[in-house]
Amino acid sequence: MDDRVSIRQLFGAWFKIGCMSFGGGAVTQYLIQETFIYKHHWIGEEDYSRFIAMSQIAPGINIFATTILIGKRLGGASGIFVSLMGLVLPSAVITVGMTAIYVSLSSLSRVQAALRYAFAAVFGLSLVTNWRNVAPILARNRSQGSATLAASIAVMIGTALVYALLSPAVVILYVAGSLSSALFYRRAAKKSASEHIK
């Protein structure tokens, strides 16, 4: 729990995100980063990367898991509750309203064209968001040496290739990536220890 952040401030921050998160998970992640890391400095980039990693391996909607982790860090049990309510309530109301409007206008060609361009904008935001998620991990691995950085990049590329070519269950990719990383770090630690003894 962080004494710098009141429950009211926490609810307000999530409520604004809930009102502005048009475009799905990538946009919501971008807004979370902007609000909690860069505007208020309530959490750091590495904290956020850790939360995202934990959220990705949890089943279900990972934005909710991220919201819970940030809420717990900043406000304990009350922080979890107000964070979820702040994110979900405005999003639900806006979604219901927009769906009703879309149903009546979806046949218009201008509406369909606007949605295609909106998707392109969301894709651009997702690239920025994903770079922000991975940059602290790469920076930390680079500080541990070029072999560690190369191993993390190899795991990323290998995972992407395996998924693109074989389409295995996502949980298999998580387990395989985690195990390969753990084996590398174990070997690197043994090598470092033996060099230190010499």
The 3 state secondary structure assigned to the chain is CCCCCCHHHHHHHHHHHHHHCCCCHHHHHHHHHHHHHHHCCCCCHHHHHHHHHHHHHCCCCHHHHHHHHHHHHHHHHHHHHHHHHHHHHHHHHHHHHHHHHHHHHCCCHHHHHHHHHHHHHHHHHHHHHHHHHHHHHHHHHHHCCHHHHHHHHHHHHHHHHHHHHHCCCHHHHHHHHHHHHHHHHHHHHHHHHHHHHC
- pLDDT, residue 196, reads 58
Contact 81, 8 (CB under 8 A): no
Contact 11, 82 (CB under 8 A): yes
What's the average model confidence in pLDDT over 147-170?
87
pLDDT at 37 over 90: yes
> Could you tell me the pLDDT band of residue 117, with boundaries at 50, 70 and 90?
confident
Distance CA 17, CA 119 (A): 19
Q: What is the pTM of this model?
A: 0.68
Chain centroid, CA 71 distance in Å: 15
What's the average model confidence in pLDDT over 179-187?
79
- pLDDT, residue 56, reads 81
Distance CA 5, CA 39 (A): 13
> Could you tell me the pLDDT band of residue 70, with boundaries at 50, 70 and 90?
very high
Would you put residue 36 in left (φ > 0), alpha (ψ -120 to 50) or beta? alpha
Q: Which residue, chain included where needed, has tokens 């946009």?
A: 27
Neighbours of 179 (CB within 10 A): 10
- The closest of 2, 158, 162 to 76, measured between CA atoms, is 2
Distance CA 103, CA 165 (A): 37
- pLDDT, residue 184, reads 79
